[in-house]
Amino acid sequence: MNPQIVFCPNIECCAKGQQGKGNIKIHSQADKRYHCTECETTFSATKGTLFYGLKTDSVTVMCVLTLLSYGCPIPAIVMAFGFDERTVKKWWARAGTHCEAVHEATVGQSKLDLGHVQTDEIKVKTQGGSVWMAFAMMVSTRLWLGGAVSKHRDKQLIQQVTDKVRQVALCRPLLLAMDGLSSYVGAFRRSFRSPLPRRGEGGRSRLISWTDIAMVQVVKHRSAGKLIQTELWINFPAA
């Protein structure tokens, strides 16, 4: 346990979210609890993590989650570890919710000079059937910007992804690369607009498209499952 890398999770504490201030002490090494000298509260070392409230050792939980992420069937994990199937599913759901919250609090609240973004979609097989997952990535850093899941590869799915890119993008020159799906062009054009300030006038503000944005689509033509031709479509500017 290292108090120097822990901060007080009490939202009413004057030192909340601050590391290395000297206000965090070890309350119980055996129970893995800390003590904040500012608000006089104690809290678990797992507070704010996906392991909070779980009785199973965190190393075991991470092992199970790692196996799940690599596609290991739940029945196999149940047989190997002896856990109830409902317990494994609960950990899986909890991990997904926690990761989504962490991503939104970090990447989702950032403003980045993205430079080059690539989007794509894949069809994912589940026990309940197949779903489509669309996602976006910052090419230079391989940073995952966000994704969306839907039963249908439709405009709504694509719009969710383009909105996530817009959420973190600074108004800088930007190259958007995608496949030949026609929904992308309209979705990106709708996302990358900003309201024009109005002076003493009512009504809705006019939306102005961002400049210095290029969209590149790689269109693949197939016949009998084989790639026979590739075309490059360029839209510049995105307005």
In whole angstroms, what is the distance from residue 166 CA to residue 129 CA?
A: 31
183-206 pLDDT, tens digit per residue, is 999 999 999 988 877 766 666 778
77-96 pLDDT, tens digit per residue, is 999 999 999 999 999 999 99
- Mark whether 3 and 96 lie in a shared domain: no
What confidence score (pLDDT) does residue 23 get? 83
- Mark whether 62 and 152 lie in a shared domain: no
**Given pLDDT bands bounded at 50, 70 and 90, which one contains residue 237?**
low
- Mark whether 82 and 173 lie in a shared domain: no
- Mark whether 142 and 227 lie in a shared domain: yes
| pLDDT tops 90 at residue 226 | no
- Mark whether 97 and 79 lie in a shared domain: yes
Whether the model pTM is above 0.75: no
- Mark whether 120 and 231 lie in a shared domain: yes
Percent pLDDT > 90 in the chain is 42
In whole angstroms, what is the distance from residue 148 CA to residue 121 CA?
A: 9
Q: Which domain holds residue 69?
A: 49-106
What confidence score (pLDDT) does residue 238 get? 47
Is the separation of the CB atoms in 61 and 83 below 8 Å? Answer: no
Domain termination residue (choose one: 106, 127, 155): 106
- Mark whether 152 and 179 lie in a shared domain: yes
What confidence score (pLDDT) does residue 144 get? 92
- Mark whether 137 and 213 lie in a shared domain: yes
In a domain, 202, yes or no: no
Residue with tokens 């069937």, as numbered in its chain: 73
Can you tell me whether residue 25 is helix, strand or coil? strand
CB atoms within 10 A of CB 236: 11
Q: What is the DSSP string of 131-193?
A: EEEEEEEETTTTEEEEEEEESS-SHHHHHHHHHHHHHHB-SS-EEEEEES-THHHHHHHHHSE
- Mark whether 144 and 215 lie in a shared domain: yes
115-153 pLDDT, tens digit per residue, is 999 999 999 887 778 899 999 999 999 999 999 999 999
Domain termination residue (choose one: 30, 47, 64): 47
In a domain, 38, yes or no: yes
- Mark whether 147 and 160 lie in a shared domain: yes
